[in-house]
Structures are given as C-alpha cells and as structure tokens.
Structure 1
Amino acid sequence: MKRRALIMLEGHARTGLLFVQAAQRLGLHPITLSTDPASYDYLAAESIETIRVDTDNLDALIHECSRLRATYDIAGITAAEEEVYATVGKLCRHFNLPGPNPASIERCCDKFVQRRLLAEAGVPVPAYRLAANATDVESCAVEIGLPVILKPAVGTGSSGVRLCRNVEEVAEHTAFLLGGKHLWRTSPRILVEEFAQGPYYSADVMGNEVVAIAAAEFGAPPHFVFRACSYPPQLGNDAYERLVDVALKCLLALGLGWGPTNIEFRWTKRGPVVIEVNPRLGGGTGPQLVRLAYGVDLIAEHIKLVIGQGWNLRKKRSQTAAVQYLIPDRDGILDWIDGDGRTTAIPGVSEVKFYVDPKTPIMRKGDHRDRIGHVIAVSPNSAQTEALLQRAVDLISWSISPFPTLDKQGQSAAHRLPAPTEVARTSPAGKPADRGAT
C-alpha cells in the first residue's frame, strides 16, 4: 500500500513547521514543493522531503505531482502562503481533490476587486480608489480626504502599507512604491483608502463558522506592524455578534466558505468596517493562540478538510491567550538578545521565540519582517495573561549597534564608533524600558 502524502506548496516562516507536525500526527507524509526550499529553515532541520519546482508554473506543478503519485497516495494538497493558494485550488481540481475555489481566491487576493465586491454586497468598507501613477494617487488622496492609507493592490504582511497624513507623505510613499524599491508580484497598482480609525479585531473562520475573534494592537505609525494580539477580545455579546454577522456577509460576497478565512476589522464610529479578507488561515501566532485559548487546532482541522475527513471545531476550553511581539526601535547589528531561559520558566508562558541570531543586520521595513521574536502567555483571564506577558517581556533584552560607516578612503570606520550602544528592551506598552546607555 502506498504511503499517504500531503503536498504543501511553499512553506511558511511561522506556521510551516506547525503544518508539517500536524500532518505527521494525522499519519501523513509531508512533501513541500518550493521555488526556493532553502528559505524555510525547518525543512532541512526536520528532514522534510522537499522538491525544488517553480510554484508559479502550474504545468510544472502538475507534472511533479503526477510523478509523485507513482510513489505516494496523494491525500491532499494545500498551502499556508496566500500567494500560491489559488494555484492550490487549481491543482486540487486537476487531481479531483478537495480544495478552495481558485477564482474566489484570485478575486479575494486583488484588494481592489475585493473592496468592490464587498461594497456591492453592502458590507461596510473604507472609502477607496485605485491608482496607477503618482498623479492619480495624489488626486485620489485629496478626493477621499487626508489622512489616507496607501497599499499595493496585491500583497500580504503589510508590505508597502503606510499611513500618509499629508500630501508630502503621500508623494514620498508613492515614490517608494513606484520607484523600484517595492517588489511587485503584479503590475504596479496602488489602493488609496480612507484611514478607518478604531480598535482592531480579526475573525478566524473555518468553512462558514466563525471559530474565534481576536483583538490586536499595532506599533507606532505610520506603519502597521502587529505589536500584540489576544483571544478572546473584551467585547460584549452584541458587538461580538455584529462582527460575526459582517464576517459571514464577507464570505457570501466573495464566494468563500471552503476552508479557512481570516477577516480584519476596525470598529469605527459607524461600527465594524472590513479592512481586509484573507482567504487563508491567519498568519503569525494566530493558530497557536486559538489552540491555547479554545483547544481548537485550526491547522489540523484544515488538513482534515483537505484530505476529505470530517473536522471538529468544538471548543474544548476557555482561556485567555495572548502574544507580545518583540520589535526593535532602530536599525543596526544585533549584538545580543537574551532572557528566553528566564522567561520560559514562568508558569503560564507558553512560548518564547527569537527569529534572529546575534550579529544579524536589523533593517526595518515597516511590515511583518520588523519583528524579531515573540512571547506567548495563557491563563484563565485577561488580567492575569496581561500580567504574565508584562513580567516575561521585562526579562528580555537586546543590544543593537549602528552599522559600520566608511571613511573617505573607503575603509571601515567601525573602530571609531562608541561601543556598545544603548540597550533596547520592549514592554507591553511598546516603549523601550529604561536601561540607560552602556
């Protein structure tokens, strides 16, 4: 009998290993198809079978999966990355496997098309316009009214997303997006949006069921880097139900409802406004927090759906789980980072993870790549969980030195720099703790 395999298109820096482990617990052999397997450290570390193939080439993927069928029983095909999820749907249809509707995924991944479909269905969204050049961007911003959000029409992880508070910032960020510094996966198109102000929430949906809702906070503007997230949010029943109702309307408007969806909101003066609908599981630590808070393993249940098994979304516990991300306040070379050993010893601290090693260059991008680690805590209530996070993060510290400069002869002038530099340490309030300069 052939061994049952789960095919993963590409990996994922944060959840990829969780997919691999969940597949193995379900008795599946995980195989990753990737354009660049070396970009996912866990594949080699865990000795995961990996095949190099151009994941933008559907014919090449069909050929590779057909070849694998001679050795394995392919139980399902899926992905954690949004960029290849429509391709997953096309592969599933070709091989007659359960999977998402690729047309719905493609419509959803185009933020302008998504906005238009939601608005036509009466779902509350920010005012928006689409622009292809600097003149269009400026006129759209004036028409909507400052401040505005500028973002690529296609993209993930808040890459290229910025709050622009005046016409100078609009011009500056437009030049960045269209001047060759931003990596476009499609032809350059900029979405200009009203800045919807208010508390942020997100809904984790599986099929047509809202499994959980989270509250989250961002770091300092003008960028949107997640600083903290917690399950469940401090919401009354009426507000919770309004978010659920809007989430379900999003699924209908976009033709979703198979598998996972993550929906982001701002609670404004007119109630919940949809910021974005992501046709995939939430990234980062979201699936871990849902498992800790409710006992529902979204990744495992998603894989069950992918391989044609019944899933179980029944909540098995009721806890408060939260994450605090570690975000540096400057660029430079990471001298050292420590405190993970002391932090993990605290009861209730579920995980402490550093994403970077000492001597790594820190170059902030204003998106998810700015985070250098996280701390996760869980307890029976929000106050206790918040206190655990505060205590844990206070034990973590790091030092960042300025990048070496070059003197007039082109030689390194690092020897003339003061050393070491100020120590930066985050706190739940997102501000450096006062450790002074050393």
Structure 2
Amino acid sequence: MLERALILIEGIGNTSPLYVRSARRLGLRPLALSAGSSRHDYLAAEGIEPICVDTDDLDALSQQCARLQASYDIAGITCAGDQFYPTVGKLCRRFDLPGPNPDSIERCLDKYTQRELLAKADVPIPAYRLAANAGEVEHAAAAIGLPVIVKPTTGSGSVGVRLCRNLDEVAEHTSYLLSGNHIWPSSPRVLIEEFALGPYYLAHIMGDKIIGIEGGDSGPPPYFVFRESIFPAPLTDEEQESIADVSLSCLQALDLGWGPTCIEFRWTMRGPVVIEVNPRLGGGPSPQLIQLAYGVDLITEHVKLAIGEEWDLRRRHSQAAAARLLVADRDGILEWNPGDSRATALSDVAEVKFYVEPNTPIVRKGDYRDWIGHIIAASLSPAQTEATLQRAVDLIDWSITPFRSTDTKPSADP
C-alpha cells in the first residue's frame, strides 16, 4: 500500500511549517514542491528536502504530481498563501481532488476585479479607481479626494501599499510603482482608493462559517505594517453581527466558500467597510491566536478539507489571545540575545519568536517584511493578556544599531 501524502506548493512565512506539522499529525507525508531556495527556507527546519519544479508552470507541476503518484497515494494538494492558490485549484481539478474554485480565486486576487464584484453586490467598500499611468493616477486621486491609498492591483502583505496625503506623495509613489522598482506579475495596474478611517478588524472564515473576528492595529502612516492583534476583537454583539453579515455577502459576491477566507474591515462612520477579501488563512500569527482563543486549529482543519475528510470547527474553550509584532524602527544591524528566556518564562506567554538571526542587516520596506519577530500571549482576561504582552516586550533584549558609513548595506526598495 502506498503511503498517503499531501503536496504543498511553495511556502510562506511562519505558516508553512504549521502545514507540514499538521500533515504529519494526520499521518500524511508532506511533499513540498518549490522553484527555488528563497521560497523554501522553512523546510530545512522541518527535515524536508524540497522537490524542485517551476511552480509558475502548471504543466510542469502537473507532470511532477503525476510522477509522485507512482510512489505515493496523493491525498490532497494545497498551499499556505494565496499566490499559488489558483494553481492549487487547477491541479485539484486535474487530479480529481477536493480544492478551491480557481476562477473564483483568480478574480478575488485581482483587487480591481474584486472591487467591481463587491460593488455590484452593494457590499460597502471605499471609493476606488483603476489607473495604468501617472496621469490617470493623479486624476483618480483628485476625483476621489485626498488622502488616498495607492497600491498595486495584485499582491499581499501591504507590499506597495501607501497612504498619500497630497499630490506630491501620489506622484512619488506612482513613480516608484511604475518605474520598475516594484515587481509586477503582469501588466502594471494601480488601484486608487478612498482612505477608510477607523478601527481595523479581520473576519476569519472556513467554508461559510465565521470562526471569529480579530482586532488589530498597524504602524504609523504612510505605510500599513501590522503591529498588534487581539482575539476576539472588542466588539458588541451588534457589531459582530454586522461584520458577519457583510462577510457572508462577500463570499456570495465573489463565489467563495470553500476553505479559508479572511476579510479585512475598517469600522467607519457608515459601519464596517471591506478593505480586502483574501482567499486564504489570515497571515502572521493569526492561526495561532485562533487556536489559543478557541481551541480551533484552522490549519489542521484546512488540511482535512483538502484531503476530503470531515472537519471540526467547534470551539473547545474561550480565552483572550493577542500578539505583538516586533517591527524595526530604524535601519541598521539587529542585535538580540537568542539565549534570553525571561519573556518566554512569563506564565501567560505562548511564544516568543524572532524571524531573523542576530547581527542581521535591517532595511525597512514599509510592509510585512519589516517584521522581525513576534510575542504571543493568552489568558482568560483581555486586560491580563495585554499586560503580559507589554511585560514580555519590555523583557526582550533587542536593539538596532544604525549603519556606519563603512557598513555594506543590503539593497532595498525605496
């Protein structure tokens, strides 16, 4: 009898190792397909040798999956992020495996198309315009009214996203996006959006079930580097119901509803406004927070869905879980003591983790790549959890020494 296996297409951040571990807990052999070493650094720590294949070539992937069928019982195919999720859907259809609708995922990943579909369904969203050149961007910004958000129509992690408060900033950021500095997977197209001001929330969904709503905060403008989250969000029952209703409207408008979805909101003067619908699990430590808060392991349940097994989304308990993202406040050399366990020793701290090694050069980019680590805590009380997080942050011995004139600085986006 062939060993059952789960194929994972590429990897992303700290979430991919969790998929590997979940697969193993379910008795599956994780098989990682990757195009290059920069995409599978996480595999070495999990003791996995990647199978190299051009993951941008659907036929090459299909041929590799067919070859693996000779040695394994392929139970499912999935991925941790959303970049390759349309590919996952197409492969699942070719091999008659459970998977997402690739057409729906592709429409959702195009932020302009997503906006059009949501607008057609009367889902509350910011005013928006599409532009292909600097003149169109400036005209759109003036029509919407400053300040505006200027961002690529594709991508994640706030890469290329900026708040522009005047036309000079609009012109500057547009020049950056269109001058070749930003990497585009297809023809450059820029989305200009009304700046929706208000508290940030994130609805986590599996299938068509609202698992919970997370509250969060990002760093100072003009960028949106996520810094803190708490689960569950401090909302009234009426506010939760409103966000849940809009979330389900998003699923219907975008023809989603298989597997994970996370929907970003701002609570404005007109209620919850949808910032973005992501056809994937929430990024960063969100899956861990949900497990701590409710005892629901969304990654394992996603793997179960991908292999055709029945999932279980029942809550086992109720706690307040929160995370603080450690973000560089300057460029320079990161220094920290990997042997310092004072923060980890605090009773309600679940995890203290750095993403980079000591003495790493840091150049800020204004997106998720500025994260250098996180601290997660959980307790029965939101106030206690927040207090524990702050104590842990104060105990972490880390600093960034500014570059000297003789240092060789790594290249970075402007």
Classify the TM-score, shorter chain: over 0.9
User: Corresponding residue for 1:21?
Assistant: 21
Task: Give yes or no for the alignment of 1:250 onto 2:250.
Answer: yes
User: Corresponding residue for 1:55?
Assistant: 55
User: Corresponding residue for 1:115?
Assistant: 115
Secondary structure of 1:116 counterpart = helix
Secondary structure of 1:345 counterpart = coil
1:333 CA drift (Å): 1.6
Greater RCO, CA 8 A, separation 6+:
2
Give the Cα–Cα distance (whole angstroms) in 2 for the partners of residues 290 and 413 of structure 1. 42
| Cα distance, 1:101–1:403 mapped onto 2, change above 3 Å | same
Alignment of 1:279-428 (within 5 A): 279-337=279-337, 340-405=340-405, 412=406
User: Corresponding residue for 2:88?
Assistant: 88
Give the Cα–Cα distance (whole angstroms) in 2 for the partners of residues 51 and 141 of structure 1. 46
Give the Cα–Cα distance (whole angstroms) in 1 for the partners of residues 100 and 407 of structure 2. 55
Alignment of 1:123-134 (within 5 A): 123-134=123-134
Secondary structure of 1:343 counterpart = coil
Task: Give yes or no for the alignment of 1:77 onto 2:80.
Answer: no
Q: For structure 1, which segment, 396-405 or 259-268, has the greater mean C-alpha deviation from structure 2 after superposition? A: 396-405
Aligned length: 408
Aligned partners of 1:147 and 1:164 also within 8 Å: yes
User: Corresponding residue for 1:425?
Assistant: none
Give the Cα–Cα distance (whole angstroms) in 1 for the partners of residues 121 and 275 of structure 2. 15
- Structure 1: unaligned runs, 5 residues or longer: 406-411, 415-438
The amino acid that maps onto 1:227 is R
Task: Give yes or no for the alignment of 1:103 onto 2:99.
Answer: no
Give the Cα–Cα distance (whole angstroms) in 2 for the partners of residues 355 and 175 of structure 1. 31
| Cα distance, 1:187–1:396 mapped onto 2, change above 3 Å | same
1:186 CA drift (Å): 1.6
TM-score, normalised via structure 1 length:
0.91
Give the Cα–Cα distance (whole angstroms) in 1 for the partners of residues 207 and 302 of structure 2. 9
| Cα distance, 1:413–1:197 mapped onto 2, change above 3 Å | closer
1:13 CA drift (Å): 1.6
Give the Cα–Cα distance (whole angstroms) in 1 for the partners of residues 202 and 131 of structure 2. 27
Task: Give yes or no for the alignment of 1:213 onto 2:209.
Answer: no
Secondary structure of 1:239 counterpart = helix
Aligned partners of 1:339 and 1:396 also within 8 Å: no
1:275 CA drift (Å): 0.2
Aligned partners of 1:82 and 1:280 also within 8 Å: yes
Q: For structure 1, which segment, 248-257 or 329-338, has the greater mean C-alpha deviation from structure 2 after superposition? A: 329-338
Give the Cα–Cα distance (whole angstroms) in 2 for the partners of residues 310 and 37 of structure 1. 34
User: Corresponding residue for 1:64?
Assistant: 64
Aligned partners of 2:89 and 2:101 also within 8 Å: yes
1:340 CA drift (Å): 4.6
Give the Cα–Cα distance (whole angstroms) in 2 for the partners of residues 82 and 54 of structure 1. 17
Secondary structure of 1:82 counterpart = coil
User: Corresponding residue for 2:152?
Assistant: 152
Alignment of 1:240-279 (within 5 A): 240-279=240-279
User: Corresponding residue for 1:190?
Assistant: 190
Give the Cα–Cα distance (whole angstroms) in 2 for the partners of residues 293 and 5 of structure 1. 30
Secondary structure of 2:83 counterpart = helix
Aligned partners of 1:338 and 1:397 also within 8 Å: no
Aligned partners of 2:12 and 2:39 also within 8 Å: no
Give the Cα–Cα distance (whole angstroms) in 1 for the partners of residues 339 and 195 of structure 2. 38
Task: Give yes or no for the alignment of 1:5 onto 2:5.
Answer: yes
- Structure 2: unaligned runs, 5 residues or longer: 409-414
Give the Cα–Cα distance (whole angstroms) in 2 for the partners of residues 365 and 61 of structure 1. 32
Give the Cα–Cα distance (whole angstroms) in 2 for the partners of residues 194 and 30 of structure 1. 43
Give the Cα–Cα distance (whole angstroms) in 2 for the partners of residues 54 and 83 of structure 1. 14
Give the Cα–Cα distance (whole angstroms) in 1 for the partners of residues 339 and 394 of structure 2. 9
Instruction: Write the deviation string for residues 204-253 of structure 1: whole angstroms up to 9, x where unpaired.
Output: 10000001100000011110010100100111100000000000000000
Aligned partners of 2:340 and 2:397 also within 8 Å: no
Aligned partners of 1:340 and 1:353 also within 8 Å: no
Aligned partners of 2:231 and 2:322 also within 8 Å: yes
Secondary structure of 1:310 counterpart = coil
Give the Cα–Cα distance (whole angstroms) in 2 for the partners of residues 2 and 81 of structure 1. 28
The higher radius of gyration belongs to 1
1:329 CA drift (Å): 0.8
Instruction: Write the deviation string for residues 241-272 of structure 1: whole angstroms up to 9, x where unpaired.
Output: 00000000000000000000010000000000
User: Corresponding residue for 2:411?
Assistant: none
Give the Cα–Cα distance (whole angstroms) in 2 for the partners of residues 216 and 402 of structure 1. 29
User: Corresponding residue for 1:423?
Assistant: none
Give the Cα–Cα distance (whole angstroms) in 2 for the partners of residues 108 and 67 of structure 1. 31
Secondary structure of 1:387 counterpart = helix
Give the Cα–Cα distance (whole angstroms) in 2 for the partners of residues 380 and 81 of structure 1. 31
Aligned partners of 2:206 and 2:258 also within 8 Å: yes
The amino acid that maps onto 1:248 is L
Q: For structure 1, which segment, 101-110 or 395-404, has the greater mean C-alpha deviation from structure 2 after superposition? A: 395-404
Aligned partners of 1:340 and 1:352 also within 8 Å: no
The amino acid that maps onto 2:59 is D
Instruction: Write the deviation string for residues 22-71 of structure 1: whole angstroms up to 9, x where unpaired.
Output: 00000000000011145332312222142011111000000000000000
Give the Cα–Cα distance (whole angstroms) in 2 for the partners of residues 292 and 340 of structure 1. 24
